[in-house]
Structure 1
Amino acid sequence: MTQIFGYHTPHAIVIATDSLALCPDERGGWEKTTVRKIVHVSPSVVMVSGGSGIGLALAHEFAAAVRSQGLWNVEAIFPKALPFARARAPLMHRRSNFAPRPDAEELERYYVLLAGMSLQTDPPSAHWLLMGSESHGAPVERIAMGNVLAIPRHMGFEVRAGRLAGTEGELEAAEKLMEELLRRRAEQTQDAAPPFFFLRIDGKGIQERHLS
């Protein structure tokens, strides 16, 4: 399962994710690989996927559709995301490379996080939207969330990040907390692997850094 951590304030968003992915092998099992799970949709909007490969495929297809229509801002892009995902996901489920695995139902769920800055407000405002499907063939739904996100759920992070005040210094604290958790999971479990990617989305745009 992809590790995604997020922290949202009215004027900025911090997101972190790892690069571990599981792919079917020729023996009917799973093999680990490294996948970039971040898709830049426009200069002000980005997507992060988690779970099965359908999420990442949806993100890439949606980004391509947005670019072909010449869309770039939150107000134009966000309303199109859920209808697009609901229309395209059934087609992807019918592709052979996305066939369900009865022995790994937890690997069939997927999530797509859309995050961006609205430049039509003064000051610019931060927005995010989470979509997902809990099982193979289940419809894509919008998932309610607050100002803290952890996929999979991580109560320790959610509690600690929920105590932050939302200032610029607290954004640094949230990102540091995400980095510590990703490193710990990579060292102690098989649920995460570097490189780790960090996104800072604010009035300056989308900044990205990674750690090996």
Structure 2
Amino acid sequence: MAKDAKEEGATTASRIFDILRHDLVNGRFTAGEKLGISALREHYQVGLSPLREALNRLAAYGLLIQENQRGFRVPRLARIELDDITEMRRQLEGMALERAIRHGDAEWESLLLAARHRLMRADNDPSQLDQWEQHHTHFHRTLVAPCQSVWLLRFIEQLHDQFDRYRRMAPPIPSVRSTLDAQHGELVELALARDAGGARALLDRHIELSYEVALGSCADAVGRTG
């Protein structure tokens, strides 16, 4: 019975981790906001132990700041951090894309086409923003999936969450969004053509353009300095 209770607690902690992670990335909480344990317990209907475990994991993941004896706080948004995240995305995601194109097989090609198709369908319904975000995340994960490095994929996923926290809290720029959407299709064409150099160059531009949108979330935004 004790083992079952322990396993149930671990499952609950994992579920709350996923829900809180989604809410943090999507801007449910204000940057810099202190999270009250009691309020979180009531909102998510969860016990103290699994909640604290989930919060500790989110702090280790970088989506929360753990303050000594003072609980947890949502990280603030700063241009210097966004610049760092963006540069790491360019380097690691670009490396993963080149490796994925080198190792990807016919099944990957089919999965990539399917991911792009779902993303295109979501593009046509602006009212379903959350669904578009899910398909967008899935598309980028599928694009680099065959890179043959579990650690590289883990780092990229963490960087995506950090980057998306900025992007989703920034004012939308419709003209940029249409260009980004078109680039998704171009990335697929280059990947299927096994043009690793062209695909990486386009991915660099894609990330840089997304950065221009995400920059709108930073109060100290003054643009790139180099």
Per the normalisation by structure 2, the TM-score is: 0.27
Q: Per residue, is there more strand in 1 or in 2?
A: 1
Instruction: Tell me: higher relative CO, structure 1 or 2? Use CA pairs within 8 A at least 6 residues apart.
Output: 1
Q: Per residue, is there more helix in 1 or in 2?
A: 2
Per the normalisation by structure 1, the TM-score is: 0.28
Larger Rg: 2
